[in-house]
Amino acid sequence: MADDTQTLVDTDPTQGPDRDFIEWVVKQIVEKPEEVVVTRSVDEMGVLITLRVSKDDMGKVIGKSGQTAKSLRILLRVIGSKHNARVNLKIVEPDTENAVSIPDDNE
């Protein structure tokens, strides 16, 4: 039986409900779901979800004035709070290693 008190910082730091959630939602939004790559890492600052999508799909993931990206971050914060973990989302520009900077209301 699964332990309901299981945290997001599990034995395998590359897997978790937060990563699975973002991958599923983004694949529903984009035109090229096969190009969606979601990675997860854990450090002393919390959980970092890194998202890479096709260049053509960047606008869909970011949304008008960054609203889609902000919404994804809010939902990740809810998932993280349920498991007592801080979860951050980094959206990486295609063909580069530069992260797209979307202002977060809480930062």
Q: What is the pLDDT of residues 9-55, one digit of tens each?
A: 446 777 888 999 999 999 999 999 999 999 999 988 889 999 999 99
The CATH number of residue 29's host domain is: 3.30.300.20
Residue numbers of the domain that contains 68: 17-100
Q: What is the pLDDT of residues 64-97, one digit of tens each?
A: 999 999 999 999 999 999 888 899 999 998 776 5
pTM (2 decimals)?
0.75
Residue 68 falls inside a structural domain: yes
Helical H segments across 1-107, by residue range: 17-29, 58-62, 67-82
Cβ-contact 77, 70 below 8 angstroms: no
pLDDT at 6 over 50: no
- Which pLDDT score is estimated for 101? 56
Starting from the edge strand earliest in sequence, which strands make up the sheet with 46-52, in order? 37-43, 46-52, 87-92, 99-100
- Which pLDDT score is estimated for 104? 59
Residue 59 falls inside a structural domain: yes
